[in-house]
Amino acid sequence: MEVLCRSLLCTWLLVLAGCSSAPQSQESAWQGTEDRFNSDFQVRDGLFHDKSGEHFNGTIIVQGEGQTLYSIRLREGRLLRFLGQDGKGMLHWHKANFWAGVDRGWELDFEQQSDGLFHRPSGKLFTGKVISLNDNNGNIEVEYNYLNGIPHGPEIYFGDNHEELSRQIWVQGKIPTSKL
């Protein structure tokens, strides 16, 4: 009987241990106008921050004239999905050294020149983070980083579930190699 009780007690403790999990970041939902969005959020270093300066975790829906203009899904401030009014990947969106969009938007806003990546709207070589989105579902596909128009920093490829598939680091336009 004592062995059975110990066995049941161990099983019960294992079940309890399996049910307890580390606290997860709470997800939030925000909805409002573009003006309110611009006052409530900032994009710094390619991450979305709320008024308190914390990375935003959840969904943002920006509305205008009674309809959704775009929606953004974030995890710890990092863009996961960006949908336009048509429910597909956002064509293009730019803010504070951050650009997100699909290939058609890229072609509208950027031009590769001999001295680097030129951002047409600003009239300058681009510095910041570029997020390439899937045209159909708005999911992040690739994150690029640029400094004065040249690749500098991580280039990250993502899968359908927003998981990181691969990463390489650029340093002033080159991928460093080391001897094996």
Residue 177: what pLDDT?
Answer: 84
- The three-point CA angle 57-49-42 to 5° equals 135
Please tell me the distance from the alpha carbon of residue 37 to that of residue 166, in angstroms, as a whole number.
Answer: 32
Residue 29 confidence (pLDDT): 96
Listed residue (148, 152, 157, 142) closest to 172, CA to CA:
152
Instruction: State the pLDDT at residue 96.
Output: 82
60 vs 87: CA distance, rounded Å? 14
Distance between CA atoms of residues 163 and 135, nearest Å: 18
**Pairwise CA distance, residues 128 & 44, whole Å:** 10
Per-residue pLDDT of the chain (180 residues; tens, 9 = 90+): 443 333 333 333 333 333 333 344 588 999 999 999 999 999 999 999 999 999 999 999 999 998 999 999 999 999 999 999 999 999 999 998 999 999 999 999 999 999 999 999 999 999 999 999 999 999 999 999 999 999 999 999 999 999 999 999 999 999 988 765
